[in-house]
Amino acid sequence: MRIALKALLKRPLFLLSVALLAIGHGGAVYLQVAEIQPEEYRRHALDLSVTGKWRYGYVNGHHGAYLVKADNVPESQPPHDSEPRNDDELAAAMSHKLKTYPMKAALETLFYAFLVGYAGAVPWFRERFMPKTAGCGRKMLFDGVAWAVGWTCVSLPILSLGYGASMFTTWGGPGAAGYSGPYPGLITGLPGETISYRPFLEFTSALPLMAVMSSGMATLLSGLSVGPGIWISGMMFYGIAGMLIRGGHCVNDAVDKWIMTMHP
């Protein structure tokens, strides 16, 4: 594993991607429940839960509903008639989100750690199972498979559990599933029932979906649901990308060897 660690330290783009992933997920967790002033909470928020320190609720704005919290002081107590009804659809959805977001945040953190672990282990597997004398074709095949397997890992939550499948919805509108426009398009600002996985999946699957839609294979995926469509398009796109990148490295190595033989 020391070989893998040394290889990782030589991959600044990978380290930058890990840092951006950590910052993005941490920011998404932090923004799940925004802290606002007690006076603003009293005027705009609807109560969901009250503790000795905090009042938790949500604000139903023009572009969607957001979880918020404020200090539990007299100035933050909403008028009695603004409390949500127990049968209110949006209140029930936001209450569920409030209760489940810490667990989802922890599980998504473990999931991202698994992805980083897989990416970090690929150089070790290459060093162990791919001899340095292997031909370019074999190296390209190895990297294509590695990228395709990596994308399968990325797609597992939506592919096997349907987690993140509400890509076409947001918390906006009169209920908890207002329409947010066609996909692919602008990345949704709210992760819906996920913490950061849905925006992460939308970002990483945008290029594969656009590539498939601009090709003649778009009709082949038209009958699939969101999860399988994203998985198949990403398998093709990232698998081919991995092979092309390795092929570029092979060409570069061949040129270096040719230069060395011409100028010993």
- Omega prior to 184 cis, within 30 of 0: yes
How far apart CA 40 and CA 112 sit, in angstroms, is: 35
Residue 228: asked if its preceding bond is cis (omega within 30°), the reply is no
Tokens of 262: 């011409």
Is beta strand 178-179 parallel, antiparallel or unpaired with respect to 169-170?
antiparallel
Report pTM.
0.79
Tens of each residue's pLDDT in the chain, 264 residues: 565 556 566 677 888 889 999 999 999 999 889 899 999 999 888 899 999 999 999 887 665 678 899 999 998 887 765 555 555 777 888 888 899 999 999 999 999 999 999 988 888 888 777 766 678 888 888 989 999 999 999 999 999 988 887 644 443 333 333 334 333 433 455 556 788 998 888 889 888 888 887 877 777 777 777 788 889 999 999 999 999 988 887 777 677 666 767 665
